[in-house]
Amino acid sequence: MKKVLVFILIGLIIFPNVSIAANQHVMENKDLNEKMTRKELATIGVRLKDLENLVQFYEDKNIFPDVKGWATPYINLAYSFDIMKGTTNDKFEPDANVTYIEFLTVIMRVMGYVDGIDFVKYPEDYYNKALELGLANMYIPYDQTITRGFAYDIITELLTKH
């Protein structure tokens, strides 16, 4: 299961126009040196959980007032299916950069790990769980923002470990 998710994520990050042909908005610029945004991560999480068939039902909802445009249904789905949370109760910050722990947390949630059961205190428990699972590198600060290329490197490393 882990390998399948990793392969899908690699495709989403490296080949967005092939993997995401139906929606060209995600990662419009293929530059791996650019920082990953929260809206991109939400979209990746939704697609990894195979929820994209529900996008049409979440287009008219607007859970977060600061979310507009193409990413709205993906963010709503990511929130509704506990893949991602807002930065506050009424704010998602879709264009904010993704931190290492946010990326790892989404990967773990997609894999089936659950808030309140597998981890409670953010970011400590989440980071420790990622370390325990072999997903994280203890020499990388959990609050470091990541680029698309960095995400690719993490996934490549996962492939060699698992």
Query: CB neighbours of 73 closer than 8 A, spacing ≥ 6?
Result: 55, 56, 57, 58, 59, 61
Residue 148 has pLDDT above 90, yes or no: no
- Grade residue 16 by pLDDT with cuts at 50, 70 and 90: very low
Domain residue extents for the chain: 2-25+33-161
Residue 15 has pLDDT above 50, yes or no: no
pLDDT in tens, 20-66: 333 344 444 568 899 999 999 999 889 889 999 999 999 888 899 99
Query: CB neighbours of 83 closer than 8 A, spacing ≥ 6?
Result: 42, 45, 46, 49, 77, 106, 109, 110
Token pair recorded at residue 134 = 């072999």
Number of helices and strands (H, E) in the chain? 7, 0
**Whether the Cβ atoms of residue 111 and residue 130 lie closer than 8 Å to each other:** no
Q: Give pLDDT, residue 98.
A: 97
